[in-house]
Amino acid sequence: MKIDKQNIRMTCRSPKNILLTDKFWKRYRDLVKKKMIPYQWSVMNDQADIKITKERGDHRIPSEKSHAVANFEIAAGKQKGGHYGYVFQDTDAYKWLEAVAYLLTAEPDRQLQKVADRLVDLIADAQQDDGYLVTFFIIEAPERKFKRLKQSHELYSMGHYIEAGIAYYEATGSQKALNIAKRMADCIHEHFGPGKEQIHGFDGHPEIELALAKLYEATGNEQYLELARYFLYQRGQDPQFLDRQIEADGADRHLIAGMEGFPLSYYQADQPILDQKTAEGHAVRVAYLCTGMAHVAKLTHDDRLYEACKRLWKNIVGKRMYITGGIGATSVGESFTFDYDLPNDTMYCETCASVAMSFFARRMLEIEPKGEYADVLEKELFNSTISGVSLDGEHFFYVNPLEVSKEASQKDPGKSHVMFERQNWFGCACCPPNLARLIASVDQYIYTVDPEEKTIYSHQFIANRASFEQGITIEQSNNYPWDGTISYTVSNPEKARFKFSVRIPGWSAQCYDFYLSGKKISKEAHNGYAIFDVTDERLELELKLDMRVREMQADNHVKTNLNKVAIQRGPIIYCMEEADNTTPLNLYQLPKEVFFTENYEPDLLRGVVAIEADALRDEPDDADASLYHEYQQAKKQMKRVRFIPYYAWINRKSGEMQVWTRKAD
C-alpha cells in the first residue's frame, strides 16, 4: 500500500484558521449551540419531557426514552439496570460530543466543555480493558461480541466515537478523548484482519472505514489506514460471511426487528465494492461507505477505488437523487430502488442520508476539485439537510418528503412514515445529532488547499475570514443564499505566488461576472472553477452569480415529474405550502410564460427570499360530481402563488406541501 503523506496536507482542515461570519450559517450554528445541544443532552439523560415518535416497525423496539447516557453508566458499573434502546444507542452520545467539539472549536465555552469532559470520562469508564465499547453488548450479551456483525453495529458505533474523539481532541487537546478512540481502533485491529485468528469480516453498517481514515490523519498511525482499507476490500468478498455468523449466533435472536428480510445488497455486502455498479440498499450505508472509500482512495492513491467512487457518485447524482439532494427512494429499508425512480410522496430522503452525502461530496472534492462535487455539497447544505430541523431548532424530520398531505400520511399506510410536522424526538434518533455535527462543522466545507498546485479553492459561498500558510488570509463576504454577490479580499503580505480558484456553480455557469478591484473582467471556468493567479499583496474580487428564478425540470425518465417544474433560485429549492396557497396545491399550474417576483422578507421564516407568480389554477371539481366523466378542457383561473425555500417548510402551520408544480405545455 502506497500511502501519500503529502496529500494529507491537501485539505485545509484546521478550523482554527477559519472564522465564520456568515449570517445564514451562524444562525444555524447558534441554533445547534443554544437549542439542539442542550435539548439533546436533556433527552439523552431522560430529563426532557418529550413525545418520542416511533418509526415504522418500531413497535417492537422500546423507545419511550433515550437512556443513552444511562447505558454508559450501567456499562461502567456506576448504575444498575439493563440496556435500553437500539443496539447503536451509544452513537447518539458520540454525535452529540462531536458536534460539541466543533462548537468549542469555533468559540470556547467552559460550561459546555465541562459537561462534555464528564461525558468523555464516563465513556472512558465504560470502555473495557481491551478497548471494546458497545454498551448493549457489555450489558446484555458480552459473550456475543463481534458475533453478529450484520446487525450489531459494533464497528459502526465505535467508528462514531472515533470521529467524536478526534474532533474533541482537536478542539480541546483532550488526550483522553483521543486515547479512547485509539484503544477502540486497536481493539478492532486485533480482532479483524487477514490473520489466521482474526475475523475476516466487516460491519453491516459502514462507518468504521471513514473513521479509521480520519484517525490515521489525526495520529499518523498507518495501521489504522491499513485496517480501513482492509474493511473496504473485505466487504462482499465472502457474501455468506454475515449470514454464517447469524446462523452460528442463532437465527432467531435478532437484534433489530424488521431487518430479517433485507437482502445482502441492503448492506452493500453482496459483492466486492469494486464490482458494485449502482447504489443499492440503505442510502445512509451507501453514502458512509462511499465517504470511506473516497477518503482511503485519496490517502492511498488508489485509482481503482476512486473509479468505484466516481461510478457510484455518477449513479447516485445522475439517476437516483432528488432535486433537494435527498436520497433513498423507498421507506422499505430506507433504500435506493432503481434509476429514475424518484416518487415525491413515498420516498425516504432521510436527513442522515443527506448529511452523509455531504461527507461523500467533501471527500470527492478533496481528491479532485470539480464543480459537480461542490454543487452537490451545496445542494445538500442548503436544502435536504437543514430541512431536517425546524427554525426553532427543537423539532426534527427523519424523512424529508417532496410532497405531503396530512390525510395521505394519516390514512395511506404506504405514507405513514411521512410526517407532516417535525417531531420532538425519535426512537431511532440518528438524524438530529448528525445534522448538529454537520452544521457545527460547516466551516470545514468552504475551502481546500492543494499544496502541489499551490492553489486555494473556494468551494462554498459561506462568509468567513480564513488564514492560510505564508500569512495569506481570505475574507469572503456575502449575503448568500439570498444575494448572488460574493466578495473576496485576499491578503498576501508575503507576495507569495499561488492560485485562487473560485467555484462557479453549475446553475450559474452560463452567466456570471467577475469584478477585479471593481473592474469587470471576463473569466472562463474550468471544471467549474475560475482560476486567478495571485502575486500581489491584495486581491479584491467580486463574483456576481445569476440569481434569477429558474424553473427546473427532471429528466423525463422520472415518471412522477413529467410536465412539472421545481423552482430554484441560487442554490435554494423552493416549495409551495398550504400556509400560503389554496389546497389542493396540485391544482396550480405554471403557465408557459411566467413572471416571477422575488422579495427578501426579513420577517418571514427568519428572513428568506419569497417568490411569487401568477399561476393557472383548475377549479376543483364538485364534491358530488361523478368520479369519471368525459374529458373537458379544464376551467382555469389566474391565481397568485407563493413559493418559499424548501428547507423552511412547515414552520408555520401544518398542511400540504409540494416541490414540483405542474407546467403548462
Q: Which residues bind its own copies (CB under 8 A)?
A: 59, 261, 317-319, 321, 323, 329-333, 335, 337-338, 341, 346, 407-408, 411-414, 550-559, 562-563, 565-566, 584, 586-587, 592, 618, 620-621, 624-634, 662-665
Type of residue found at 128: Q
C-alpha cell read off for 512: 456570471
Q: Please say which residue, 413 or 518, places its beta carbon nearer to its own copies.
A: 413
Q: Tell me the closest approach of the beta carbon of residue 61 to its own copies, in angstroms.
A: 14
DSSP code of residue 583: S
Q: Please say which residue, 329 or 356, places its beta carbon nearer to its own copies.
A: 329
Cα–Cα distance between 375 and 367 in angstroms, integer?
15
Q: Please say which residue, 428 or 587, places its beta carbon nearer to its own copies.
A: 587
The residue to which cell 420516498 is assigned: 347
Q: Tell me the closest approach of the beta carbon of residue 472 to its own copies, in angstroms.
A: 35
Cα–Cα distance between 448 and 9 in angstroms, integer?
10
Cα–Cα distance between 486 and 479 in angstroms, integer?
8
Which of the residues 154, 209, 226, 334 is marked catalytic? 334
Cα–Cα distance between 387 and 517 in angstroms, integer?
37
Buried b (16+ CB within 10 A) or exposed e, 138-160: bbbbeebbbbbbbbbbbbbbbbb
Q: Tell me the closest approach of the beta carbon of residue 427 to its own copies, in angstroms.
A: 16
Cα–Cα distance between 144 and 150 in angstroms, integer?
13
Instruction: List Cα–Cα distances, 594 to 327, 339, 565, 581, 615, in angstroms.
Output: 30, 31, 12, 17, 8
Nearest to 179 by CA among 161, 156, 191: 161
Nearest to 11 by CA among 468, 460, 625: 468
Q: Tell me the closest approach of the beta carbon of residue 480 to its own copies, in angstroms.
A: 21
* Edge-to-edge strands, sheet with 529-534: 447-450, 455-458, 498-503, 529-534
Strand partners, 486: 478, 543
Q: Please say which residue, 41 or 313, places its beta carbon nearer to its own copies.
A: 313
Q: Tell me the closest approach of the beta carbon of residue 415 to its own copies, in angstroms.
A: 9
Q: Please say which residue, 519 or 592, places its beta carbon nearer to its own copies.
A: 592
Q: Please say which residue, 229 or 415, places its beta carbon nearer to its own copies.
A: 415
Cα–Cα distance between 261 and 252 in angstroms, integer?
13
DSSP code of residue 375: H
Burial class (CB in 10 A: 0-12, 13-18, 19+), 466: buried
Nearest to 57 by CA among 398, 462, 309: 398
Q: Tell me the closest approach of the beta carbon of residue 639 to its own copies, in angstroms.
A: 15
Type of residue found at 499: K
Q: CA-CA-CA-CA torsion for 517, 522, 527, 529, nearest 10 degrees?
A: 10
Whether residue 12 lies in the annotated active site: no
Q: Tell me the closest approach of the beta carbon of residue 413 to its own copies, in angstroms.
A: 4
Q: Please say which residue, 292 or 333, places its beta carbon nearer to its own copies.
A: 333
Cα–Cα distance between 663 and 615 in angstroms, integer?
9
Which of the residues 430, 431, 578, 656 is marked catalytic? 430
Chain centroid offset of residue 428 CA: 17
Q: Tell me the closest approach of the beta carbon of residue 533 to its own copies, in angstroms.
A: 31
Q: Please say which residue, 171 or 312, places its beta carbon nearer to its own copies.
A: 312
Q: DSSP labels for 444-468?
A: GGSEEEETTTTEEEE-S---EEEE-
Q: Please say which residue, 318 or 451, places its beta carbon nearer to its own copies.
A: 318
Q: Tell me the closest approach of the beta carbon of residue 554 to its own copies, in angstroms.
A: 6
CA dihedral sign, ordered 121, 123, 127, 132: negative
Whether residue 421 lies in the annotated active site: no
Q: Show which residues are catalytic.
A: 334, 430
